[in-house]
């Protein structure tokens, strides 16, 4: 039996899941050789532009190995009746765990302490200053979707007081609602960014929000780089307007602005929020299941509804 041809712009992980894709499909990697393909596999941070879609006249399905659709031209997909699927829920724990890890790393001098020990400063009698407790802070979550809510559950479980802002107040949560980022930041010292990317959330965390967070404040971003204004963030770290940051996402990955590389108490990771074996395996399985459903003419498992 001939295997359907698909275009893959992003590798599935772990290796056995990538192998499964190879077994089930003829996997093309060059878009110039994919004019006949009905399905494309892409990553959340890779997406598919309208220009790429124009090179794919037979396209019927965009299977995103991730939850972010900000890099997919959804208008063009809708206009052409191309379905989009994502991998919701299965990565929420991993990304929430990463957010907590970054908060602890920035707040408890983990990266700085590691550099201090390796540089021999401890051995030479040096001392790190005292940190301010992370779990005794009030936490604010900007973006209260699946990942934000998973994180809220985690933080509450650790005894933290949690507030959030989202487009609408939710009735089914004990967490306190604030109508916007500014009022949320004014009430917390640990601000987690878990909002979807795209034009609606660009620069939501700006100089005013950082000033409201205050000199004890820590910002953690596991969502999309542009939600936090990188220039304002680097300035706030340098001037002491906030105390620290933990960043897993950036405007122009894999390039990280020099101002953030140079900023004090800024912990940086290379977009690895969902990069656990468990999450990536479950994500890959959903991609495979959505592809199978499409080629079998069955309903998609996790269609992205605009
Ligand atoms: C991944 C992501 O880095 O879910 C998303 O939108 O950005 C991340 O989980 C990526 O999609 C991995 O394929």
* Within-domain flag for 303: no
103 and 247 both lie in a single domain: yes
Report the candidate in 46, 106, 88, 114 with the shortest Cα–Cα distance to residue 248.
106
Asked whether residue 16 falls in the same domain as residue 76, the answer is yes
Do 128 and 256 lie in one domain? The reply is: yes
- Regarding whether 153 and 42 lie in a shared domain, the answer is no
Query: Which of 150, 271, 280, 294 is flagged as catalytic?
Result: 271
- Cβ of 66 below 6 Å from ligand 1: yes
- Within a domain: residue 187? yes
Task: Give me the pLDDT at residue 264, please.
Answer: 95
Q: In sequence order, what DSSP letters do the residues of 161-182 get, joined into one string?
A: EEEEE-SS--SS-SSEE-SSHH
- Specify the number of domains making up the chain: 2
Verify cis geometry, omega within 30 degrees of 0, for the bond prior to 239: no
- Residue 213, domain CATH: 3.40.50.720
**Residues 58, 206: one domain?**
no
Inside any domain, residue 302: no
Give the domain range for residue 25. Answer: 5-88+277-295
Q: Are residues 215 and 113 in the same domain?
A: yes
Which residue's alpha carbon is at the smallest distance from atom 4 of ligand 1?
66
Local confidence pLDDT in tens for the 306 residues of the chain: 789 999 999 999 999 999 999 999 999 999 999 999 999 999 999 999 999 999 999 999 999 999 999 999 999 999 999 999 999 999 999 999 999 999 999 999 999 999 999 999 999 999 999 999 999 999 999 999 999 999 999 999 999 999 999 999 999 999 999 999 999 999 999 999 999 999 999 999 999 999 999 999 999 999 999 999 999 999 999 999 999 999 999 999 999 999 999 999 999 999 999 999 999 999 999 999 999 999 999 999 999 986
Q: Does residue 301 lie within any of the structural domains?
A: no
Q: Has 76 been annotated as catalytic?
A: no
- What CA–CA distance (Å, rounded) separates 124 from 86? 51
Give residue 4's Cα distance to chain centre.
31
Q: What is the pLDDT of residue 158?
A: 98
Q: Quick one: pLDDT at residue 205?
A: 98
The answer as to whether 201 is a domain residue is: yes
| Residue 206 located in a structural domain | yes
Beta-carbon contacts of 145 under 8 Å, excluding residues fewer than 6 positions away, are: 166, 194, 195, 196
Ligand 1 neighbour 43 (Cβ under 6 A): yes
Q: Is residue 191 situated within a structural domain?
A: yes
Rounded to whole angstroms, the Cα distance separating 178 from 167 reads 10
**The two structure tokens encoding residue 254:** 């894999």
Asked if 213 and 242 count as a contact pair (C-beta separation under 8 A), the reply is: yes
Give the pLDDT confidence score for residue 305 in this predicted structure.
Answer: 86
Q: What ipTM was predicted for this assembly?
A: 0.97
């Amino acid at each position: 039996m001939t295997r359907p041809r698909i275009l893959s712009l992003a590798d599935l992980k772990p290796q056995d899941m990538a192998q499964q894709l190879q077994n089930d499909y003829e996997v093309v990697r060059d878009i110039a050789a994919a004019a006949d393909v009905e399905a494309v596999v892409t990553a959340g941070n890779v997406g598919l532009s309208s220009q790429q879609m124009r090179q794919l006249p037979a396209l019927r399905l965009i299977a995103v190995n991730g939850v972010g659709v900000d890099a997919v031209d959804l208008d063009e997909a809708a206009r052409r009746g191309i379905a989009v699927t994502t991998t919701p829920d299965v990565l929420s724990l991993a990304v929430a765990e990463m957010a907590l890890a970054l908060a602890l790393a920035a707040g408890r001098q983990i990266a700085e302490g590691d550099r201090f020990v390796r540089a021999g400063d401890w051995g030479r009698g040096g001392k790190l200053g005292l940190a301010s407790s992370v779990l005794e802070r009030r936490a604010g979550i900007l973006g209260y979707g699946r990942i934000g809510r998973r994180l809220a559950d985690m933080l509450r479980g650790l005894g933290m007081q949690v507030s959030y802002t989202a487009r609408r107040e939710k009735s089914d949560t004990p967490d306190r609602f604030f109508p916007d980022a500014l009022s949320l930041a004014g009430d917390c010292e640990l601000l987690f960014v878990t909002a979807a990317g795209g034009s609606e959330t660009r620069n939501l965390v700006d100089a005013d929000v950082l000033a409201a967070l205050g000199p004890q404040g820590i910002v953690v971003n596991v969502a999309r780089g542009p939600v936090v204004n990188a220039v304002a963030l680097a300035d706030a770290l340098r001037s002491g307007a906030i105390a620290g940051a933990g960043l897993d996402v950036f405007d122009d990955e894999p390039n990280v602005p020099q101002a953030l590389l140079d900023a004090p108490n800024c912990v940086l990771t290379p977009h690895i929020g969902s990069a656990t074996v468990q999450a990536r395996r479950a994500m890959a399985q959903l991609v495979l299941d959505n592809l199978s459903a499409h080629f079998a003419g069955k309903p998609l498992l996790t269609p992205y509804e605009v």
